[in-house]
Amino acid sequence: MNKITTWLNEFLLSLGVGSATADILDKTIVLILIIGLAFLIQKICKYIIFNTIVKLVQRTKATWDDIVFDPKVLGKLIGMIAPVIVYLLAPVVFEAGSSGYDYTQRFCMAYIIAMFIRFIVALLTAFYTIYNSKEKYRDRPLKGLLQTVQIILYFIGGIAIVSILIDKSPLGLLAGLGASAAILMLVFQDSILGFVSGIQLSANNMVRVGDWIEMPKYGVDGDVIEITLNTVKVQNWDKTIVTIPPTALMKESFQNWRGMQESGGRRIKRSINIDMNTVKFCTPEMLAKYNKIHLVNEYVVKTEEIIRKYNEENHIDNSILVNGRRQTNLGVFRAYLTSYLKHHPSVSKNMTCMVRQLQPTERGIPLELYFFSANQVWVEYEGIQADIFDHVLAIIPEFDLQVFQNPTGGDFRKL
């Protein structure tokens, strides 16, 4: 290479170029040749490595190596070959300690660091793609963590590159940045707050990708589809997408339905109003009728036996109904509903199931059904709920009861 430099210098001098100019031109030409040779070697290595890696990857059954050894990832690593060659061959062109030697090595080192940072970021992105495709990691805020690491790497790389180019210590450069820390915090306030909030949300397991959350203030009612450094994306049930900052989830209250989803049941809590005027003691004829109802006949017989023994032991005068104990049609109806729910295939058998009376009002006696559907899918859940209450409303007259509802136009026409 020194012979080439000497020959170029003599050739330029023979053309009448000045000595000082010839010294600069011959080094520049040789440097360009070295750079061209370096990029040629890099391209050959890239071709060989890509072909070799692709053949090896295709032979494996695993899918993770297709992502890690993707050309987009390996291309960043191979991109370091050219600057490394130029960096190593710089002493051939320039004398050690000269300004040309110093500048060449600085630019090469800065380029190497930039390509190395890009390679690490691409590699982390590949790992994120691998883990995000696994079911058990989909609910983790991996994207926010990836963005945080990327910002840190870019910041460190930027400091290192600038310090190399201006020939200053990175620590001294960081000390100088201390004066502008307040401005940086003001500019990146949302990112910093989002980063801190994201860590708290993750550490406290408050929200994960796939959770159903509800936040009426922001119009949020749907599944979390993405958690990043600055945003949480929620797809509502009407398929609209709402974006809210992570800080909003930390500062304000929101409802997370994950507990319901993990419990194996979805609550149904609904009441119907019974007309109080239709509640009465059961006559022998009514008891005989109820005794034929499969789901409640055992209750009727057992309860009637308990009442008979009580009345006999206490010498109750049965000629007056107010004396002693009596079954009511509403009590038998409650027992029927309880038995009906416990035998229903779509009602969870391991969770609370009851039928209770609420405070009577001017609209009648609210009879509340409190139970959990074993199916959590929204459409099917609504269908189960509707089917159960269709049956309840249709069966009420069989117990000599009536549903209360306010008078309508038809009622006034009958009058």
Q: At what angle do helices 99-132 and 81-93 cross, to 10 degrees?
A: 170
DSSP string, 365-406: EEEEEEEEES---HHHHHHHHHHHHHHHHHHGGGGT--B---
Confidence at residue 57, expressed as pLDDT on a 0 to 100 scale: 67
Do residues 256 and 270 both lie within one domain? no
Q: Model-level pTM?
A: 0.51
Do residues 326 and 398 both lie within one domain? yes
Q: What is the mean pLDDT of each run of 10 residues along the chain (415 residues)?
A: 54 57 65 82 82 71 65 78 83 71 84 87 80 66 73 83 79 64 65 72 76 89 84 89 87 83 83 93 91 91 90 82 87 94 91 92 93 88 93 93 82 67
Do residues 208 and 344 both lie within one domain? no
Do residues 238 and 272 both lie within one domain? no
Do residues 26 and 119 both lie within one domain? yes
Residue 128: which of 208, 188, 191, 73 has the closest Cα? 73
Confidence at residue 104, expressed as pLDDT on a 0 to 100 scale: 82
Do residues 272 and 391 both lie within one domain? yes
- Please state the domain count of the chain: 3
Give the count of beta carbons closer than 10 Å to the beta carbon of residue 213: 21
Q: At what angle do helices 378-395 and 329-343 cross, to 10 degrees?
A: 150
Which two three-digit tokens encode residue 74?
Answer: 């390996």
Do residues 338 and 237 both lie within one domain? no
Do residues 254 and 274 both lie within one domain? no
Which two three-digit tokens encode residue 152?
Answer: 């840190």
Confidence at residue 74, expressed as pLDDT on a 0 to 100 scale: 76
Task: Report how far residue 389's alpha carbon sits from residue 338's, in angstroms, rounded to the nearest whole number.
Answer: 13
Do residues 282 and 344 both lie within one domain? yes
φ, ψ at 214 (rounded to 5°) = -135, 125
User: Is residue 251 domain-resident?
Assistant: yes
Domain boundaries, position 94: 2-133
User: Is residue 162 domain-resident?
Assistant: no
* Total residue count of the chain as it appears in this document: 415
